[in-house]
Each structure stands twice: as structure tokens, then as C-alpha cells.
Amino acid sequence: MEETVIVQSQELQQLIQKKLAAAGLSEAHAAIVAEHLVFADASGIHSHGAVRVDYYAERIAKGGMNRTPQITFEETGPSSGIVHGQNGAGQVVVLEATKHAIEMAKRSGIAAVGVRKTSHSGALSYYVKKAAEADLIALSMCQSDSMVVPFGGKENYFGTNPIAFAAPRKQGAPVVFDMATTVQAWGKILDARSKNKEIPATWAVDAHGKPTTNPHHVHGLLPISGPKGFGLMMMVDILSGMLLGLPFGKHVSSMYNDLTKGRDLGQFILLIDPQRFTDLDTFKESVETMVAELHDIPAAEQFQQVYYPGEINQLTYEKYMAEGIPIEKNIYRYLISDTVHFDQYSGSDAFAQTGTGE
């Protein structure tokens, strides 16, 4: 396995920002994307952190990410709207959409905001956490390109189609839960590749539809809990794709095939102001009580304690922001080098492979 180096968050932010700016992204947009990727790495979500910089840089340099998008917000009703992202950097576009949604939810009590034509937007937990910090309940989901074998099928159709949820609490950081609708996110497999590490046989299948532990042989991911995950990823695609008049399922653009074109991806944000339903302090105190009661449940054998879903990411974030973030040496070497990108993604399939992977 590749060794890691400990990098302080400020240095990592500067290195990523510099690399993205060198690829052609504006300093302002590069700073937003860098902050997001640092958040992901600090939260232990390395699949959506610095490992993505080389890919982003290649897409930016080749014109597949709009460097100067004119991001606009179309208010379609008192509680609904669409952000038109013009295929700008996903983190920039969706952050802008989240800000509009927060303002609308504060005004109307609820906000349903679609994001139309954006690039890969990274870890969804980043956005819902910001909404929860504004005392709102948040749900966000987005589509991705076809790489999942549907329950009972042999060919890929839906993407990993993640869902994130957050709610404010009385004392601690918001409760934040972020998950792919597959057994594991593709980014986790990408992370395993960077570490030359095997994956569990329950995550994916190879070109023959057989379980594989080699991240380089992956040709299809598996939905979480079989038909249940299959149903969730269908729901995500309907809300973040079809609802916005965008491609869906196997028609969603490839992440890697043509880096000269925008991805036209969709995302859906739903925010709720709990004050429209109950007393805010009572609600936040209830969430706090739930967390405490979960912590008080006796731990099962081989577990230290019960954590609420997503809590380990928050604890990791607090630790890494204080002590430094572990980054794979090969990724760090790239970040400090003069290389803008390695020209290794364009023309690849959904799994960043140019051949069969065998």
C-alpha cells in the first residue's frame, strides 16, 4: 500500500487551488472547489478529495468544464426553482444552488431546487451540512453515469446516484448522513486503486459478472441491499434527471469518455424549515437527545460504541482539521509537481479504464 503524508488543511487547500488554476479555472472557482475537496479528505471521504484533482484538471484543461459559467437562478414558484449551471465546476454551481435554496426555505418554509447542467459536484454532505448549519433540514441527491448492474440484470443502467441528509441539533455539529445507493461509491474504488488495495468481493463485479476484489477489474457496481438500493437509485434519477428534463439512466454522460464536452448533470435539493412544523429549539433538542440515546446503547461485540450515521466522518473531520490530513504520497507528489494533469482519463469508460481491465 502507498504510504501517506500528513498535510495541514491550509497547505492542501493551496496546493489544490493552485493546480486547478493552472488548468484554467478562475482563482475564485478554484478556491471553492479546493475547499470542498479538503472538506472531503478531512472527513475521511478520500474518494471525493484530492484524488479527484488530476481528473478535474484534465477536464478543465480540455474544455469539458466551463471556466466562466453564467450561473443563473430561475424561480419557478414560491418554493421552487432551477439553477442553470452551464456546466461550470460542480462545487461552485451546487454551492450557489444551496445558497438560493436556503434563502427560499427561510422565506417560504420549504425549498425544492433543481440544478440543471452541472459538472461532478463531489461530496453531497458538504452542501446539506451548510443548510443544517442554517437551522434547516436538508436532503440532496444527484445522478451519475451508468455503472451499476440493476438487481436481476447483467448490464449496467443507473449510476451510483448518492443521497445526503442533514438536520441541525442543539449542541454539536449537525447530523449529516451521505451515502451512495450502491454497496460502495465508485470513488471508494478509485481510492482503492490509488492505494493498490483490494476491495471486498461484495462491492462489484468484473466483465464476466463475477465478484471481484481487484479495483482495476471492476465493470459493474452492485446496488445496496439488492432491490432496495435499486429502487432508491431509480428515485434519485427521476428527481435529479427526468424532473429537470435531463438525460437519465444509461443516457447520462460519461465521466471520462469525452473530456471536451460538458456533462449536463442534474441535482435535486430539498430544504425544510422545521419552525414551520414545530418549535425549533424543541426539534434541535430532540435530535440532541436521539444522539445521546444512541450513544448510551451498549455496543455489540467488536464495536466500541454506537455512532449515529455519519458521525465517524464528523469526528474524523475534527481530528484531521486539527492534526493534519493523510494524503497518499503519489497524490501529494502530483500536487506539489509542475504537472497540470497526466492525460490519463479522456477516452476511458465509466470506470476510467481503456481496456477490459483484466
CA–centroid distance for 217 within its chain? 23
Residue 265 host element (H or E): strand 265-272
Q: Are 137 and 274 in contact (CB under 8 A)?
A: yes
CA angle 42, 48, 54 (to 5 degrees): 110
Q: Are 142 and 246 in contact (CB under 8 A)?
A: no
SS3 36: helix
Residues 6+ apart with CB under 8 A from 142: 115, 121, 124, 161, 162, 236, 240, 265, 266, 267, 268
Residues 6+ apart with CB under 8 A from 135: 168, 273, 274, 275, 280, 284
Quick one: CA dihedral 119, 181, 310, 312, positive or negative? negative
**In whole angstroms, what is the distance from residue 40 CA to residue 72 CA?**
26
Identify the active-site residue in 29, 36, 120, 341.
120
**In whole angstroms, what is the distance from residue 263 CA to residue 252 CA?**
8
Active site residue 120: yes
Q: Are 125 and 43 in contact (CB under 8 A)?
A: yes
Residues involved in catalysis: 120
